Structure 1
């Protein structure tokens, strides 16, 4: 999937290796930015120009593996502007998936088709709503309602090559009650039933904890940077 998003042929080499390629059309990050994906200790990097690619090759050859997606460390050796990430990348298969049920008295409801989750996003606040990205869905919505109001939801967005990127969001008053895990579990179960590979991509330590509880394994990191 990440190789397809790079938009040009690029290999994930052995652990510790960094592949840098010129790709103005890369979808790993915003147009004109540098996209970096670290998986299993190997990294691929897309650059918008040959000059940028050359700079990255020189600098990244000296960076340790665990610093390749660290904006602070990259900023010490290259002039950078805005950044997106780093996002932890975790995945799960049928064999590793650990389903979770909602708390007693509550149920997860599957709502087919487009479902407006704007009220939940407003309650959660703009920062958490942006992190969750519930508007980017290509799945049913999996929701928990209390007194008719949605207090937690999970969806997934279909990425290339059958990857289902899962997102969860819970209203602040209902957090730490297992609702993110329950709705996320329903979304993951649905994606696996479609033959897809669930992905959990997040900057949030709390969301990462939910993913690990469902059996996801963290395999890498994704970062996009604007090079000045």
Structure 2
């Protein structure tokens, strides 16, 4: 995972996003370093949890209190950077109640983007995030997948594909994040998966974000989602982990 931020501008921009989300003054250390700070309002994790983001071979960690920071600093400071975003390794050194992740963090530049066009009679249309047909797709996909995609939180248009009966079967968009990032979400109806529709709709969302001068971010755990990101030219530069201490 180590990537020298001095030679990869994507790492520099990605680090700026998470530094702003930390909501306290912090910076990523040189490769190999783990920086732990106290931030009760951190955007790296749920409130009251410990948030870990590793990028470019170093990591930033936010803790909800000074007492938690002392424990986390002692435990994670002894681990290599790759291990601080590994749930198994973290459980070996910290009293953990729950873990969310790890999720891979991937980014793409304008020059690295590989767009995918709709094939055949398929067309991509723009809908609002509140459109009832988008809600219908979420119901079809189920609460877990719909929650992961979070189409209802999109600040961009939602780029959608319909089937022959007019139902939205795939959609993607992005939420504008601090640091001029575009957090991309993609959702496909279960019966329509495996047809490349996530690439088509995701490509439209990424193109829109790049056109607005934003940094597209793809955060994912499932291998299928990570493969979609890779097909569009995203580079996996790090990972995110959230920890609830016991």
Aligned to 2:189: 171
Take 2:104 and 2:160, find their aligned partners in 1: how far apart are those partners?
24
Match of 1:128 among 120, 145, 154: 145
Conserved? CA contact 2:127–2:159, under 8 Å: yes
What is the total number of aligned residue pairs between the two structures? 228
Verify: 1:84 aligned to 2:100, yes or no: yes
TM-score (norm 1): 0.96
Which position in structure 1 is the counterpart of 2:52?
36
Structure 2: give runs of 5+ residues left out of the alignment. Answer: 1-16
Q: 1:206 aligns with which of 217, 224, 235?
A: 224
What is the CA distance between 1:114 and its match in structure 2? Answer: 3.5
Give yes or no for the alignment of 1:223 onto 2:237.
no
Alpha carbons 1:70, 1:86 under 8 Å: kept: yes
1:64 Cα deviation from its structure 2 partner: 2.0
* Cα distance in 2, alignment partners of residues 129 and 112 from structure 1: 16
RMSD: 1.2
Q: Retained in 2: the 8 A contact 1:22–1:48?
A: yes
Equivalent residue number for residue 100 of structure 1: 116
> 2: CA distance between counterparts of 1:219 and 1:113?
29
> How much does 1:27 deviate?
1.5
Alpha-carbon distance change, 140 to 20 in structure 1, aligned in 2, over 3 angstroms: same
Q: String of CA shifts for 1:144-166, please: whole Å, max 9, x gaps.
A: 01121000000100000210000
- 1:137 paired to 2:154: yes
Q: In structure 2, how many angstroms separate the alpha carbons of the residues matched to 1:199 and 1:61?
A: 27
SS at match of 1:177: coil
Q: Secondary structure at the match of 1:161?
A: coil
Cα offset, 1:132, TM superposition: 1.3
Q: Show the 5 A alignment for 1:44-55.
A: 44-55=60-71
CA distance in 1, matches of 2:208, 2:141: 25
* Structure-1 separation of matches of 2:129 and 2:71: 46
Partner residue, 1:12: 28
My pick for the range that moved more, 114-123 or 96-105, is 114-123
Contact 2:129–2:151 (8 Å) recurs in 1: no
Residues in 2 aligned to 1:121 and 1:83: alpha-carbon distance in whole angstroms: 25
CA deviations 1:43-102 (Å, max 9, x no partner) are: 000011111111111111221221111112111111111222211100011100000012
TM-score, length-normalised on structure 2? 0.90
Q: Aligned to 1:58, which of 74, 77, 93? A: 74
How far apart, in 2, do the equivalents of 1:113 and 1:2 lie?
25
